[in-house]
C-alpha cells in the first residue's frame, strides 16, 4: 500500500475525476434493534439482545427475514450482600407499664458488597463494505455515494457523526478495520476545514477537535 498525505490537494482532484466513472449506487442501510434479554443460556443474569441486519426492502424496519444475527450485552453477576448491622440496645423490663423507653441506637451500616463483573462488549459488525449509513467503532459513518468491487470498497463524501474527519493514515485505518477488517487502500480530500472535526483518539476511538484546522478526508477506499 502506498499513500502520500503531502500531495493531498492534487490527489483529491484526480480522485474527484475518477469518481465520475467509478461511483456506484447507494447500498441498503444497516439496522440494529435492542430488546431486554431475560436470564438464561445467553445471559445468566439477563441483559440486552442486539439484533442486526441489512434493510433489504428499504422500509426502515428490520423484518424477520432481514435479520443477519443477534449479539448479547449481558449484566454482571450480583455483588455479595453486606454484613448485617449490630442490634440496638433494649430498654429495661418492668411489670408496671411505664413510659415508653427511648429507642435504642441504630446498628452500624453493613459494608457494601463487591461490584459484579462487567458484561461483555457487543461485537463490532464487520460487513465488508461501505453502506450509506453504518456504525463504525462507536461512531456513525455516512457516505454520499459508495462503490464496491472484488478487492475494494469506497466511500465518497465521508462524514463521521456528521462532521469532517482528519485526513491521516490513523483515521483511515481505524475506519477500514471496522468496515472490512483490513487496511485502507487510499484516502483523499481537498482544502482545509476549521473545528469542529473528528479525529482518532488515544483512549477512545474518536474525539471531537474543538479548535484548529485540518485537511478533511472526503474519499476513502478500503481493501477487502
- The residues, any chain, with a CB within 8 Å of residue 197's CB and separated by 6 or more, are 163, 164, 165, 166, 208, 209, 214, 216
Beta strands in the chain (DSSP E): 30-37, 47-54, 67-74, 133-136, 139-142, 145-148, 152-156, 159-160, 184-188, 193-194, 197-200, 206-209, 213-214, 219-223
Report the range out of 26-30, 74-78, 109-113, 187-191 with the highest average pLDDT. 187-191
The 10s digit of each residue's pLDDT in 105-143 is: 888 888 888 887 765 555 555 678 999 999 988 899 999
What cell numbers appear for 41 in the block? Answer: 443460556
**Looking at residue 210, what is its pLDDT?**
93
- DSSP three-state, residue 66: helix
More confident residue, 160 or 118: 160
pLDDT band at 90 (very low <50, low <70, confident <90, very high): confident
Average predicted confidence (pLDDT) for the chain: 83
What cell numbers appear for 212 in the block? Answer: 484548529
Percent of the chain with pLDDT over 70: 82
What cell numbers appear for 64 in the block? Answer: 424477520
Residue 214's CB is within 10 A of a number of other CB atoms, namely: 20
DSSP letters for 25-51: ---PPEEEEEEEE-SSSS-TT-EEEEE
Q: What value does the CA radius of gyration of the chain take, rounded to a whole number of Å?
A: 28
Q: With b meaning 16 or more CB within 10 Å and e meaning fewer, what string describes 59-74?
A: eeebeeebeeeebbbb
The 10s digit of each residue's pLDDT in 9-52 is: 333 433 433 334 455 566 778 888 898 999 999 899 999 999 89
Amino acid at each position: 500500500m502506498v499513500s502520500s498525505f503531502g500531495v493531498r490537494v492534487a490527489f483529491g482532484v484526480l480522485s474527484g475525476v475518477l469518481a465520475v466513472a467509478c461511483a456506484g449506487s447507494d447500498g441498503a442501510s444497516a439496522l440494529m434493534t435492542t430488546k431486554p434479554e431475560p436470564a438464561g443460556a445467553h445471559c445468566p443474569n439477563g441483559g440486552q439482545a442486539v439484533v442486526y441486519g441489512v434493510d433489504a426492502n428499504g422500509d426502515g424496519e428490520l423484518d424477520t427475514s432481514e435479520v443477519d444475527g443477534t449479539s448479547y450485552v449481558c449484566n454482571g453477576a450480583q455483588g455479595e450482600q453486606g454484613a448485617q448491622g449490630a442490634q440496638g440496645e433494649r430498654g429495661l423490663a418492668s411489670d408496671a407499664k411505664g413510659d415508653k423507653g427511648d429507642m435504642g441506637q441504630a446498628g452500624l451500616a453493613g459494608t457494601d458488597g463487591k461490584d459484579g463483573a462487567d458484561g461483555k462488549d457487543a461485537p463490532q459488525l464487520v460487513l465488508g463494505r461501505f453502506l450509506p449509513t453504518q456504525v463504525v467503532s462507536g461512531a456513525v459513518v455516512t457516505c454520499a455515494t459508495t462503490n464496491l468491487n472484488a478487492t475494494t470498497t469506497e466511500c465518497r463524501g465521508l462524514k463521521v457523526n456528521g462532521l469532517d474527519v482528519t485526513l491521516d493514515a490513523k483515521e483511515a485505518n481505524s475506519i477500514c478495520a471496522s468496515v472490512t477488517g483490513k487496511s485502507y487502500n487510499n484516502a483523499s480530500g481537498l482544502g482545509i476545514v476549521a473545528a469542529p472535526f473528528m479525529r482518532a483518539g488515544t483512549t477512545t476511538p474518536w474525539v471531537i477537535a474543538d479548535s484548529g484546522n485540518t485537511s478533511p478526508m472526503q474519499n476513502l477506499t478500503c481493501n477487502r
